[in-house]
Amino acid sequence: MRYDKRADLYFAKGERYDPKLGKNVTDYVVLQLNVPCAHMPMSIEKVKTTFGEVDRDINIVHFNEKVPAFTHLTIKGKSYKVQKLVPHRRSVAYVEEVSPWN
């Protein structure tokens, strides 16, 4: 497996009200930058067995080392939200693409 992509890991610290914007804003903490990873789409059969739905666009991100718990990540400018994190010796994250937050 080629770890040819780089991911930036973020953790959602909490939500607060911003009076200037007039809405709730989520604060993110950068955990690690430039973590090597392998990014690939998940098959429809595996999405069905893992999440119970077929219409979700889930991707798999493999890391070559154990990474800390995180809630969001970016790869090549695209933002993803973690749906499931498997923290073993080499961590695996199941992620879903979301609109950019920063």
At 102 the pLDDT is 55
With residue 35 as reference, give the H or E element that holds it: strand 23-41
Half-sphere exposure (Cβ direction) of 26: Cα atoms closer than 13 Å: 11
CA distance 32 to 62: 15
Kindly report whether the global pTM for this prediction surpasses the value 0.85: no
101 pLDDT band, cuts 50/70/90, is low
- pLDDT tens-place string over residues 18-47: 899 899 888 888 888 899 999 999 998 988
- pLDDT tens-place string over residues 40-97: 999 989 889 888 888 888 999 999 888 888 999 999 989 999 999 988 888 999 999 9
CATH class of 5-98: mainly beta
Domain ranges of the chain: 5-98
